[in-house]
Amino acid sequence: MLRDELIPSDELRRIDESVRTNWPTGSAIEFEEAIEFHESLPPESAFATVLESADRPLLQPRAGVPLLEDQIELLQHLHASGGADLLPTTIDSYTRDNEYEKAAEGLAEARETGEATLNGFPAVNHGVEGCRELIRAIDAPVEVRHGTPDARLLAAITFAGGFQSFEGGPISYNIPYTKEHDLAETIEHWQFVDRLAGAYTERGVRINREPFGPLTGTLVPPAIAIAVMLLEGQLAATQGVRSLTLGYGQVGNLVQDVAALRSLRSLGEEYLPDEVTVTTVFHEWMGGFPPDEARANGVIGLGGATAAIARPDKVITKSPQEFQGVPTKEANAAGLRTTRQLIDMMIEQDVRLDGVERERELIEAATRDLIEAVEAAGDGDVAQGTITAFESGALDVPFAPSDSAQGAVLPARDDDGRVRIFEFGDLAVSDEIKEIHRNRLDARAETEGRDQSFRMVADDVDAISDGRLIGRPTEGD
């Protein structure tokens, strides 16, 4: 039975060998030689050290194109013209589905036609040497960002290829991303990824791991996001990960976002073992963007202002072209600069917000309820507890497409634009917390002269792209 226990070394070797034979480029992986490669890199490439020693929020965009030389050029542009402190390499969708054959075809077509036939960088197909060429060409730390439920080969190749940070986790890259991937199997696959990161860590190459905080990116109540971060953090720490960056996606209410980021950090430090260095990452708004670059810049600006007050260790920026999909490199760099401008203007101001402490108490009480429910469900084992709690709905994510989750929870904003829970399903939070959420939503319903209903949920999902925060009824409704 799956347990939250360290994978023994002989088992690690066995899985590692079977994973490496999945695809021809896997055979180029050699652990000792990979350690030497990491040791040969300059200090500015050391992801964990750069992030953990920063004295202001570091900025990182999203970016990935199929060809190696284009990816290098793109990252150099974002570094030089956008002022990105940390760089990404976003992986294409075929690789995320372990369809390396299709990724190979897309890559060949991209080479032939010069078109972006893949929506990211197929790192498995580029192989260890391709990854190293990228890492050597960029004088900043680079993270692998993806969305892969079974990322074992991707991790083995990119770690050997010199990447020192890896996004994702068994819950955050399963529940929001796929329908049929079994949660227990995904946890097992990520135990291997984390164990491999742990093996590098033991040898002095600290691989930074970053659970994906925004989850479904659609009005996720902070307590749910934070609970998932703590669980994935615990699972990773068991396998020897020592640098963990916990994530949270902007909901757009300043007080709630600041409170959530502070809770994320303090609960992370409390729940994760002392030997783990906990950092936090704030994702600028992940929901629908306004179809207008000027208004999109407003959304990005609010993200920057929030970061200046809450001071996460890292901010993942958005571009003003978010509405249209993949942005040009210029627009991507612009999103970085807009964010930097807001942070640098505001970070030395002493801004006090009313209500942050009260909101923190609410978030932390609900998060503790959820974690306790998971621990109880697994009889003290986090891996078992996570599976059982998602099955029963004790832990749940709004709009989760996965069959492993109930997906019964529905969020809605309250009269102040904070994300509350409208439908709890079987979510394991106390009656007292449910009552508070209900009262807040009642207050909104009263203001709007309508009953609480799914209609509010639907209106809230569209509100920011429509130019507002709260999905109030408009004339004619």
Partner 1 sequence: MPKTVILGVIGSDAHVVGITILEQALQAAGFDVVNLGVQSSQAEFVEAARREDASAVLVSSLYGHAEQDCQGFHEKIAEADLDVLTYIGGNLAVGQDDFEQTRRRFRELGFDRVFDSETDPEEAIAALRRDLQIAPTEPETVPVRG
Q: Does 422 belong to an annotated binding site? A: no
Q: Tokens standing for 32?
A: 């000792």
How many angstroms separate the CA atoms of 194 and 180, rounded? 23
CB of 177 to partner 1, least distance (A): 6
- The reply on whether position 400 binds partner 1 by CB under 8 A is yes
Q: Which region among 104-112, 237-245, 315-323, 449-457 touches partner 1 (by CB under 8 A)?
A: 449-457
With a CB cutoff of 8 Å and minimum separation 6, the contacts of 231 are: 171, 371, 374, 382, 386
- The reply on whether position 454 binds partner 1 by CB under 8 A is yes
- Choice among 132, 143, 167, 364 that is catalytic: 167
CB atoms within 10 A of CB 175: 26
- Is 96 part of the annotated catalytic residue set? yes
- The reply on whether position 473 binds partner 1 by CB under 8 A is no
Q: Does 271 belong to an annotated binding site? A: no
- The reply on whether position 286 binds partner 1 by CB under 8 A is no
- Is 133 part of the annotated catalytic residue set? no
How many angstroms separate the CA atoms of 457 and 471, rounded? 8
Q: Does 289 belong to an annotated binding site? A: yes
* Cβ proximity to partner 1, 182 vs 403, nearer residue: 403
Q: Tokens standing for 351?
A: 């801004």
Q: Does 203 belong to an annotated binding site? A: no
Nearest by Cα to 246 from 255, 235, 256, 254:
235
Q: Which residues in the 406-425 window bind partner 1 by CB under 8 A? A: 407, 410
CB of 204 to partner 1, least distance (A): 39
Sheet with strand 277-283: strands edge to edge: 58-60, 314-316, 277-283, 243-249, 208-210, 165-167, 142-145, 87-90
Q: Which region among 9-17, 360-368, 370-378, 451-459 touches partner 1 (by CB under 8 A)?
A: 451-459
Q: Does 96 belong to an annotated binding site? A: yes
* Cβ proximity to partner 1, 395 vs 405, nearer residue: 405
- Choice among 96, 195, 265, 444 that is catalytic: 96
Cβ-based burial of 472 (10 A; exposed 0-12, middle 13-18, buried ≥19): middle
Q: Does 297 belong to an annotated binding site? A: no
Q: Tokens standing for 452?
A: 């609480």
> Applying CB under 8 A, what is the total number of residues that bind partner 1?
18
Buried b (16+ CB within 10 A) or exposed e, 363-377: bbebbbbbbebbbeb
CB atoms within 10 A of CB 456: 26
What is the torsional sign of CA 122, 126, 128, 133?
Answer: negative
Residue selected from 298, 301, 355, 401 as contacting partner 1 according to rule CB under 8 A: 401
Write the binding mask 176 to 215 for partner 1: x where contact by CB under 8 A, - elsewhere: -xxxx-----------------------------------
The set of catalytic residues is 96, 167
Residue ranges in contact with partner 1 by CB under 8 A? 177-180, 216, 218, 399-401, 403, 407, 410, 453-455, 457-458, 461
* Residues in binding site for adenosylcob(III)alamin: 64, 119, 176, 289, 318, 322
